[in-house]
Amino acid sequence: MLSPEDNDLLCRVGAGTPMGDLMRLYWLPALLSEEVPVADGAPVRVRLLGEDLIAFRVTSGRVGLVRNTCPHRGASLFYGRNEEEGLRCVYHGWKFDCSGACVDMPSEPAETAFKDKVRAVTYPCVERGGVVWTYMGSAASPPPLPDIEPNMMPGESQVQKIMRECNWMQALEGDIDTSHFGFLHRTFGRQPSQGTFDYYMEKERTPRYKVVDTEFGTSYGAYRPAEEDTYYWRIAHFLFPFFTMIPTGVLGVQIVVRAWVPLDDEHTMFWSFMAPQTRTLEGAFVGANGQAGGTRPGMVEYAEDTQDWLGRFRLIANAGNDYQIDRESQKTRSFTGIDNGGAFLQDQAVTESMGAIFDRSGEHLGSSDEMVIRTRHRLINAARALRDNREIPPGVEEAALYRQRSGGIILPRDADWLEATREQRKGFVKAKAEAEAVPATGGG
């Protein structure tokens, strides 16, 4: 439960809000490189942290991100001409480069030098692993990009995006709430083979939890009996400001990072960064038809893109058609009857069904919600500490803090879960070969 004030502080990310200011300290995934595929190609509308921006790839191949409204008299730069290393407003022809400098002002006499006094608001962009990252903060020199392992495996990793129509934290909370797995994502008539992670989960739907604060955010271990002398542990993380690592797959092998990037207070872009070995083990993004790959996972069906601010990476199954729920299937095949998009669509349905920004003052939180509670408080406290004491939150300056991994593991019952998994939780190490023998598990 949160007071309405705290709920607002947690959810709202516009410029000048405490959480918005916190987010602006970090690099953010803004768009895929393939959304601006060619030099001097068509500009693209991008909304990020409540700001309307225009992305464009200039002649030399760099990506620029400029505020939508032209600093002259406010025409949208979406209509701009992308030419010779800059974007030219079509109203009076002022032209801006990637740094925001006005490099041409043909509507003014050359001798006035007025153009040297005018700047467009732009944000620096860096491309890595097919992703355009941007820094919307005010520091003269931006911090380092975070060490996101599956975004730093050249030629190997996979990036995927899906739009979610609700507040970012509401969406993120689904990733750190493992207790829903045995309900929301349950399918009937499936007999997981003995000794697999799935088998242990099917046998015991109510895990116990350990939750800890970490240098990078929060972590939990959810454990349930495996064999007589062992527990099956599902270990997952929240990493400032909006990253998660989910407990599916095998700890030490799975390499997956997810991000819940606020487009505005009521829309969130889900990003998934995955290494190839993760896909085969986790299966979360491999559809029933086995289709995977590309930036759009085969298991969900995408609506046609539009050029609107929120027009890309939307799904066909949405609140307007009740996520294509099948009531007959709900009796016989799956807990939800929402079957046309796997676990992802089920998560999408329930988190969007709370409304765009859920008023958390009406909640009733149980012991299984401890990770959610602690993560909210980390975020709220960090936003307050930044606002009141200029205290810099975790991970801004320390790219290496993100070198973590998540997943499942079988441990002796008397093992200390953090001690026993120290090595497997380290990112950027070669995965051990014996992991191939470990049984796979379903999505989170």
**Contact footprint for ligand FES (CB under 6 A):** 70, 72-75, 89, 91-92, 94
Partners of 223 in beta bridges: 208, 233
Smallest distance, Å, CB 289 to ligand FES? 48
89 binds, among ligand FES, Fe ion, none (CB under 5 to 8 A by kind): ligand FES
**Site map (CB under 5 A) of Fe ion, residues 109-128, x = contact:** --------------------
The candidate with the shortest Cα–Cα distance to 393, out of 401, 385, 404, is 385
Judged by beta carbon, residue 35 or residue 347, the one nearer Fe ion is 347
Give the chain's end-to-end CA distance (angstroms, integer).
24
H or E stretch including 4? helix 4-11
Q: Map residues 344-373 to x or -, x wherever contact with Fe ion holds by CB under 5 A.
A: ---x--------------------------
Q: Which residue, 81 or 186, is less far from ligand FES as judged by CB?
A: 81
Smallest distance, Fe ion to C-beta of residue 268, A: 15
Token pair 């973590």 in the structure block, residue: 404
Q: What angle do CA 90, 94, 100 make, to 5 degrees?
A: 115
The residue whose two tokens read 């990112």 is 427
Alpha-carbon span 301 to 324, nearest angstrom? 11
Cβ at position 275, least distance to ligand FES in Å: 44
Closer by beta carbon to Fe ion, 64 or else 442: 442
* Ranges assigned E (strand) in 136-204: 158-164
| 21 binds Fe ion per the rule CB under 5 A | no
How far is 228 from 211, CA to CA, in rounded Å?
24
> With respect to Fe ion, which residue has the nearer C-beta, 17 or 278?
278
d(CA 177, CA 99): 41
Question: Do 238 and 269 form a contact (C-beta atoms < 8 A)?
Answer: no
Q: Which does 347 bind (CB under 5 to 8 A by kind): ligand FES, Fe ion, none?
A: Fe ion
CB of 89 to ligand FES, least distance (A): 3
Q: Which stretch binds Fe ion (CB under 5 A): 104-112, 267-275, 308-316, 342-350?
A: 342-350
Short-list 262, 346, 337, 267, CA closest to 299: 346
Handedness of CA 351, 352, 353, 354 (dihedral sign): positive
| Partner from Fe ion, ligand FES, none contacting 94, C-beta within 5 to 8 A by type | ligand FES
CB of 113 to ligand FES, least distance (A): 17
> What are the residues binding Fe ion (CB under 5 A)?
347
